[in-house]
């Protein structure tokens, strides 16, 4: 049942969804595509980095679906935004990367249930592209930052150009932490 209130309810954008230490001096932002094999690998690297350095960083994921090569990527991103409306973004985010080869609409509904999404409107909202503009906003903001392909990682709003491996990313985070300490001193 859609009430007038549901229609006018403000959508929670992904740029407001952070995990890690809210007071960290290092922001790590990952622009990705849920259907990309490379992005799924980087997701696993970032999960490990969060486990080892979660106190030093704040992490945010932004949608950059490459729809010309990944036909399900945009709907998967919309499904993540839909899950975010119930506080289940990170659960859905992990499930989408875990199943990046199977992202059809029926699968997305299954993952939403598994993530704990209870909205009866999940599927209708997905079909109606209720969250399409939210995903597009991430994409446009990425383009404004010069991003043209994924996976792309930003460290404190600068594009990270190194290898997207755990040792290299950890090293870059450590360097950024030391740099932030020097600037404060």
| Total domains, the chain | 1
Residue 129, in any domain of the structure: yes
State how far the Cα of 103 lies from the Cα of 111, in Å rounded to an integer: 9
Please report where in the chains the tokens 């190194």 appear, as a residue. 162
Residue 184: the pLDDT is 58
Residue 5, in any domain of the structure: no
**CATH label of the domain that carries residue 126:** 3.40.30.10
Work out the average pLDDT over 90-119: 97
Inter-axis angle of helices 89-98 and 37-53, nearest 10: 130
Residue 52, in any domain of the structure: yes
Work out the average pLDDT over 14-19: 95
> Taking a C-beta distance cutoff of 8 angstroms, is the pair 88, 111 a contact?
no
Residue 6: the pLDDT is 52
Residue 4, in any domain of the structure: no
Work out the average pLDDT over 33-51: 97
93 pLDDT higher than 70? yes
Domain that holds residue 84: 10-184
Residue 1, in any domain of the structure: no
State how far the Cα of 66 lies from the Cα of 12, in Å rounded to an integer: 22
Residue 182: the pLDDT is 64
Residue 3, in any domain of the structure: no
Residue 2, in any domain of the structure: no
At 134 the three-state DSSP class reads helix
- Which residues have C-beta within 8 Å of that of residue 86, sequence separation ≥ 6? 116, 117, 118, 119
Residue 120, in any domain of the structure: yes
């Amino acid at each position: 049942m859609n009430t007038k209130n549901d229609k006018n309810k403000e959508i929670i954008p992904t740029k407001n969804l952070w995990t890690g230490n809210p007071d960290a001096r290092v922001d790590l932002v990952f622009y990705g595509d849920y259907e990309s094999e490379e992005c799924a690998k980087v997701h696993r690297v970032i999960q490990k980095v969060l486990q080892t350095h979660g106190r030093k960083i704040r992490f945010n994921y932004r949608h950059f679906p490459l729809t010309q090569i990944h036909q399900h990527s945009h709907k998967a991103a919309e499904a993540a935004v839909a899950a975010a409306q119930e506080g289940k973004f990170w659960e859905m985010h992990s499930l989408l990367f875990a199943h990046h080869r199977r992202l059809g609409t029926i699968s997305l509904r299954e993952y939403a249930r598994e993530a704990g999404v209870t909205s009866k409107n999940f599927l209708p909202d997905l079909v109606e592209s209720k969250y399409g503009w939210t995903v597009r906003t991430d994409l446009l903001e990425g383009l404004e930052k010069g991003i043209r392909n994924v996976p792309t990682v930003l460290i404190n709003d600068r594009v990270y150009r190194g290898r997207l491996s755990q040792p290299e990313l950890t090293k870059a985070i450590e360097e950024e932490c030391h740099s932030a300490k020097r600037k404060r001193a």
